[in-house]
């Protein structure tokens, strides 16, 4: 390719408006076919007042909301004129972008009868007709070919800003949760045989190699589908954002938070950080689902749950994204709409500070180890340690001064080499569980044996441990319980062994409830290596906190981070554990901020309005000299005290959420 062509290509790339690369405020009013009769003036006014700048609007697939010319595209019978054209023009006039929603997972029964080869076939050899909509198959002609005709028609006619696909992939159940199994259509049989040389499995069997091959096939087909969609749409419109529930071929990964019960307090924080960790340039739009469950889509979850979801997503770099069934004017459970609107408008009014930011949490947490990870994440959140999730590679660990690796025993040689280099270069490393054999920085701690869980065992906190861990909340604790395996290491030369294992002993009857020995086995090992330092809890301290929530375990972790490993944290916050912080900085280098969220309204499974939390002290070592500190929500300036390169402010009252903005001097 000639240089001129290369340059032409580059300037073309530059010219494409990739508007989605900054977090947006999306509102999905998922229209029912009867909503074609809604009041359009009111629709546009309500979307605008809501503070949304992107609307996810139903365009085609199951129901076409425009006068389609395609013979197998079902036109909304409730529609007069051209709903898509009218709404698009009106929203664009208000500066609001529109992502068109398509759903090719089902087709109207009158077309289904004419094109049976497009349809999903259940394990019992039947088509699935749900409310007049018949399930189609990814392998069949509808999703492989006809879908592109519908997309092409819509894209050629309407200046949409993006396209969203619902219900992608190989579906096995209907909306009532009835399981119909693996598709047995002709196209699946042929394509699977072509792919694998095997016959299509007739049912799910996790132990069968054919079934495992089938899963690989469905993933391949789904990826291929979205790579084709991407090539097709971007050739027509490079500025069109593609959004759906897969990371392949998309610009915006869509997810949902839709289960009101059974998800932890930090669920959406974890989800946002974990998804964006490997997303590259792709964005995350994770919708807070308004309704309680699919069969009850007119009834809302707690407003405070909705706000928690949206907040945890956006402060970690995702879009604001809210989804309800039907337009705002037809909501029958309107509780919480005002709170979402207030949050959207707050974000809109402060875009200067909220849109172009990057993570600034200094502790790196590696996402592995199940309950061990969950417990450590909770300790960090409750102690206002600003952290980010990382993978085990040098660029991801980056400049984080401290890294935590839960359940480290199974790390590969390559992972260990990365961690050794990290510590040699000055990093502070905290592991839990078994020390992986290939790790050099902790090799002086010699492994002896693994003691299985023993009832009645404890970890002794001695006077010298208390002094070293330097935590006031350990003053009244001489032990914490140990409820799991313990890996015994000899503290060799250069190994500082802290805390001691108390082996399991008598716990009943009360007359006989006392232990007789305290071992010499350290329960925390600390070793200096190169310019850094490594430490390991040779037991699963995080899982203990996840299970029982005893503050002693949390205090030991925090004492290890702050004192034994000696992290001089950039951000220190003194407040209730019910306040969650997030630390980000502006990409333009003119500010950083600390987000505060008040979790105090949670009572078991119920989320109430939080009670105000007062006098939150924030002490920050800023990246640059700070000129002013401002509370973006309260709209007030805070007096600041400067000392030793640090800035201290006091937030008088946190009602629900706040952004504490540290503006740098020019
Ligand atoms: Zn099929």
Tell me the pLDDT tens digit for each residue of 88-120.
999 999 999 999 999 999 999 999 999 999 999
**Distance (Å) from CA 150 to ligand 1 centroid:** 20
Q: What per-residue confidence (pLDDT) applies to 259?
A: 81
Q: What per-residue confidence (pLDDT) applies to 169?
A: 93
* pLDDT at 7 > cutoff 80: no
**Distance (Å) from CA 188 to ligand 1 centroid:** 4
Report which DSSP code applies to 61: E
Q: What per-residue confidence (pLDDT) applies to 493?
A: 87
* pLDDT at 132 > cutoff 90: yes
**Distance (Å) from CA 191 to ligand 1 centroid:** 9
pLDDT band for position 260 (50/70/90)? confident
**Distance (Å) from CA 295 to ligand 1 centroid:** 27
**Distance (Å) from CA 182 to ligand 1 centroid:** 8
Six token digits for residue 321: 């994204």
**Distance (Å) from CA 204 to ligand 1 centroid:** 15
**Distance (Å) from CA 397 to ligand 1 centroid:** 43
Distance CA 459, CA 511 (A): 22
Contact call for residues 78 and 36 (beta carbons, < 8 A): yes
Please give the C-alpha separations between residue 143 and each of 37, 61, 103, 207, 664, in angstroms, as whole numbers. Answer: 29, 10, 10, 30, 53
**Distance (Å) from CA 73 to ligand 1 centroid:** 20
**Distance (Å) from CA 228 to ligand 1 centroid:** 18
Contact call for residues 310 and 322 (beta carbons, < 8 A): yes
Contact call for residues 375 and 551 (beta carbons, < 8 A): no
What confidence tens digit (pLDDT) does each residue in 212-252 have?
Answer: 999 999 999 999 999 999 999 999 999 999 999 999 999 99
Distance CA 408, CA 438 (A): 11
Distance CA 361, CA 592 (A): 11
Average pLDDT of span 55-68 = 98
Q: Which residues contact 543 (CB under 8 A, 6 or more apart)?
A: 371, 372, 375, 484
Average pLDDT of span 639-665 = 97
**Distance (Å) from CA 184 to ligand 1 centroid:** 5
Phi/psi of residue 350, nearest 5 degrees: -120, 30
Contact call for residues 383 and 575 (beta carbons, < 8 A): no
Contact call for residues 184 and 122 (beta carbons, < 8 A): yes
* pLDDT at 407 > cutoff 50: yes
| Residue 220: CB atoms within 10 Å | 12
| Residue 590: CB atoms within 10 Å | 15
**Distance (Å) from CA 199 to ligand 1 centroid:** 13
**Distance (Å) from CA 58 to ligand 1 centroid:** 26
* pLDDT at 179 > cutoff 70: yes
Average pLDDT of span 291-303 = 94
**Distance (Å) from CA 71 to ligand 1 centroid:** 22
**Distance (Å) from CA 137 to ligand 1 centroid:** 5
Beta strand 296-300 with 320-325 is unpaired
Over the range 461-471, which residues count as b (16 or more CB within 10 Å of their CB) and which as e?
beeebbebbeb
Please give the C-alpha separations between residue 390 and each of 309, 319, 438, 594, in angstroms, as whole numbers. Answer: 22, 20, 21, 20
Q: What per-residue confidence (pLDDT) applies to 398?
A: 83
Average pLDDT of span 257-284 = 92
Distance CA 664, CA 591 (A): 5
Q: What per-residue confidence (pLDDT) applies to 14?
A: 56
Residue whose entry in the numeric block shows the structure tokens 């689902």: 289
Distance CA 185, CA 191 (A): 10
Question: What is the sign of the dihedral through the CA atoms of 295, 298, 304 and 309?
Answer: positive
* pLDDT at 5 > cutoff 50: no
**Distance (Å) from CA 118 to ligand 1 centroid:** 8
**Distance (Å) from CA 151 to ligand 1 centroid:** 21
Average pLDDT of span 352-376 = 97
Distance CA 276, CA 523 (A): 35
Which contiguous run of DSSP H or E holds residue 352?
Answer: helix 351-354
**Distance (Å) from CA 434 to ligand 1 centroid:** 46
**Distance (Å) from CA 189 to ligand 1 centroid:** 7
**Distance (Å) from CA 170 to ligand 1 centroid:** 8
Residue whose entry in the numeric block shows the structure tokens 């089902």: 106
Contact call for residues 628 and 664 (beta carbons, < 8 A): no
pLDDT band for position 454 (50/70/90)? very high
Q: Which residues contact 99 (CB under 8 A, 6 or more apart)?
A: 26, 54, 55, 56, 57, 160, 161, 162, 163, 164, 241, 243
pLDDT band for position 4 (50/70/90)? very low
- Tell me, yes or no, if the pTM score tops 0.75: yes
**Distance (Å) from CA 192 to ligand 1 centroid:** 10
What confidence tens digit (pLDDT) does each residue in 186-206 have?
Answer: 999 999 999 999 999 999 999
Nearest 5°: the CA angle 470, 473, 476 is: 105
Q: What per-residue confidence (pLDDT) applies to 105?
A: 96
Q: What per-residue confidence (pLDDT) applies to 605?
A: 84
**Distance (Å) from CA 225 to ligand 1 centroid:** 14
Average pLDDT of span 437-459 = 96
**Distance (Å) from CA 101 to ligand 1 centroid:** 23
**Distance (Å) from CA 119 to ligand 1 centroid:** 7
**Distance (Å) from CA 256 to ligand 1 centroid:** 26
**Distance (Å) from CA 70 to ligand 1 centroid:** 23
What confidence tens digit (pLDDT) does each residue in 381-391 have?
Answer: 999 999 999 99
* pLDDT at 67 > cutoff 70: yes
* pLDDT at 419 > cutoff 80: yes
**Distance (Å) from CA 208 to ligand 1 centroid:** 20
Residue whose entry in the numeric block shows the structure tokens 């990093």: 427
Distance CA 210, CA 205 (A): 9
Q: Which residues contact 57 (CB under 8 A, 6 or more apart)?
A: 29, 31, 65, 84, 87, 88, 91, 98, 99, 100, 101
Percent of the chain scored above 70 by pLDDT? 98
**Distance (Å) from CA 250 to ligand 1 centroid:** 24
* pLDDT at 3 > cutoff 80: no
Distance CA 190, CA 186 (A): 6
**Distance (Å) from CA 56 to ligand 1 centroid:** 29
pLDDT band for position 262 (50/70/90)? low
pLDDT band for position 6 (50/70/90)? very low
**Distance (Å) from CA 41 to ligand 1 centroid:** 43
**Distance (Å) from CA 185 to ligand 1 centroid:** 4
3-state secondary structure of 63: coil
What are the strands, taking DSSP E only, across 259-395? 283-289, 291-293, 296-300, 320-325, 357-359, 363-366, 387-390
- Average pLDDT over all residues of the chain: 95
What confidence tens digit (pLDDT) does each residue in 547-568 have?
Answer: 999 999 999 999 999 999 999 9
| Residue 421: CB atoms within 10 Å | 16
Distance CA 604, CA 621 (A): 36
**Distance (Å) from CA 202 to ligand 1 centroid:** 12
* pLDDT at 1 > cutoff 70: no
Distance CA 562, CA 426 (A): 16
3-state secondary structure of 296: strand
pLDDT band for position 15 (50/70/90)? confident
Over the range 379-410, which residues count as b (16 or more CB within 10 Å of their CB) and which as e?
bbbbbbbbbbbbebeeebbeebbbbbbbbbee
Q: What per-residue confidence (pLDDT) applies to 641?
A: 97
Residue 540: alpha-carbon gap to chain centroid: 24
Contact call for residues 191 and 145 (beta carbons, < 8 A): no
**Distance (Å) from CA 32 to ligand 1 centroid:** 27
**Distance (Å) from CA 190 to ligand 1 centroid:** 9
**Distance (Å) from CA 422 to ligand 1 centroid:** 49
């Amino acid at each position: 390719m000639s240089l001129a062509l290369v340059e032409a290509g580059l300037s073309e790339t530059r010219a494409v408006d990739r508007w989605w690369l900054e977090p947006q405020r999306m509102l999905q009013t998922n229209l029912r076919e009867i909503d074609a009769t809604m009041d359009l003036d009111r629709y546009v006014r309500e979307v605008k007042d809501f503070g949304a700048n992107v609307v996810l609007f139903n365009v085609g697939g199951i129901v076409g909301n425009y006068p389609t010319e395609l013979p197998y595209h079902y036109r909304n019978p409730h529609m007069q004129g051209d709903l898509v054209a009218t709404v698009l023009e009106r929203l664009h006039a208000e500066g609001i972008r529109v992502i068109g929603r398509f759903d090719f997972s089902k087709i109207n029964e009158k077309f289904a009868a004419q094109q049976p080869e497009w349809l999903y076939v259940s394990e019992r050899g039947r088509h699935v007709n749900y409310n007049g909509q018949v399930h189609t198959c990814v392998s069949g002609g509808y999703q492989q070919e006809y879908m592109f005709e519908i997309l092409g028609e819509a894209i050629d006619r309407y200046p949409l800003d993006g396209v969203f696909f619902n219900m992608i992939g190989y579906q096995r159940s209907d909306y009532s949760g009835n399981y119909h199994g693996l598709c047995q259509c002709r196209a699946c049989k042929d394509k699977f045989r072509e792919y694998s040389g095997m016959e299509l499995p007739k049912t799910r069997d996790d132990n069968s190699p054919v079934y495992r091959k089938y899963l690989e096939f469905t993933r391949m087909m789904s990826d291929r589908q979205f790579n084709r969609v991407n090539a097709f749409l971007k050739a027509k419109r490079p500025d069109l954002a593609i959004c759906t529930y897969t990371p392949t071929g998309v610009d915006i990964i869509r997810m949902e938070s839709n289960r009101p019960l059974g998800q932890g307090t930090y669920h959406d924080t974890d989800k946002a950080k974990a998804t964006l960790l490997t997303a590259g340039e792709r964005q995350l739009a994770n919708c807070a689902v308004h309704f309680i469950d699919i069969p009850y889509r007119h009834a809302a979850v707690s407003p405070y749950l909705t706000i928690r979801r949206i907040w945890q997503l956006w402060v970690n770099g995702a879009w604001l994204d809210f989804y309800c069934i039907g337009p705002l004017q037809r909501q029958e459970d309107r509780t919480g709409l005002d709170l979402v609107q207030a949050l959207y408008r707050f974000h809109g009014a402060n875009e200067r500070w909220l849109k172009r930011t990057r993570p600034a949490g200094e502790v790196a947490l590696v996402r592995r180890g199940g309950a061990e990870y969950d417990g450590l994440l909770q300790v960090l959140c409750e102690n206002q340690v600003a952290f980010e999730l990382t993978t085990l590679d040098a660029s991801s660990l980056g400049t984080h001064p401290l890294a935590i690796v839960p359940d480290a025993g199974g790390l590969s040689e390559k992972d260990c080499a990365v961690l050794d280099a990290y510590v040699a270069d000055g990093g502070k490393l905290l592991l839990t569980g078994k020390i992986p054999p290939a790790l050099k920085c902790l090799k002086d701690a010699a492994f002896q044996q693994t003691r299985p869980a023993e009832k009645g065992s404890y970890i002794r906190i001695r006077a010298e441990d208390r002094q070293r861990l330097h935590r006031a909340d350990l003053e009244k604790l001489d032990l914490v319980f140990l409820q799991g395996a313990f890996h015994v290491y000899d503290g060799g030369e250069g190994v500082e062994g802290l805390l001691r294992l108390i082996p399991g002993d008598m716990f009943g009857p009360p007359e006989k409830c006392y232990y007789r020995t305290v071992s010499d086995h350290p329960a925390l090992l600390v070793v200096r290596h190169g310019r850094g330092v490594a430490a390991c809890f040779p037991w699963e301290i995080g899982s203990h906190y996840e299970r029982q929530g005893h503050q002693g375990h949390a205090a030991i972790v925090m004492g290890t981070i702050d004192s034994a490993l000696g992290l001089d944290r950039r951000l220190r916050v003194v407040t209730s554990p019910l306040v969650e912080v997030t630390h980000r900085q502006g990409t333009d280098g003119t500010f950083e901020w600390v987000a505060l969220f008040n979790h105090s309204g949670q009572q078991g499974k119920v989320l109430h309005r939080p009670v105000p939390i007062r006098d939150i002290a924030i002490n920050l070592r800023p990246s640059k000299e700070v000129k002013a500190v401002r509370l973006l929500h309260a709209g007030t300036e805070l007096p600041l005290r400067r000392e030793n390169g640090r800035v201290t402010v006091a937030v008088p009252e946190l009602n629900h959420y706040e952004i504490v903005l540290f503006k740098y001097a020019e």
